Amino acid sequence: MSKEDKIKSDKDHKITDNSVDFENLQKNYEKLENIAARAQADLVNFRNRVQSEQSQIKLRSEQRIALKFIEIINQFEVAINSENIDKNDPWIEGITVIFKNFEQVLNSEGYVRIDTVGHPFDPRLHEAILNTPSEKFDTGTIISELIPGYIHNDVVVKPASVEIATSNKKNNDIS
Q: What is the pLDDT at residue 172?
A: 41
pLDDT of residue 22: 84
- Model confidence over 7-62: pLDDT tens digits? 555 555 566 666 778 888 889 999 999 999 999 999 999 999 999 999 999 988 99
What is the percent of the chain where pLDDT is above 70? 86
53: alpha, beta or left? (left if phi > 0; alpha if psi -120 to 50): alpha
pLDDT in tens, 86-96: 888 888 889 89
Residue 120 has pLDDT above 90, yes or no: yes
pLDDT value of position 13: 59
* Domains of the chain as residue ranges with CATH: 113-170 (2.30.22.10)
Assign 149 a pLDDT band (cuts: 50, 70, 90).
very high
104 CB-near residues (< 8 Å, 6+ apart)? none
pTM of the model: 0.65
Phi-psi map region of 153: left, alpha, beta (phi>0 left; psi -120 to 50 alpha): left
Range list of β-strands (E), 93-136: 111-113, 126-133
Has residue 173 got a pLDDT over 80? no
Q: Is the pLDDT of residue 103 over 70?
A: yes
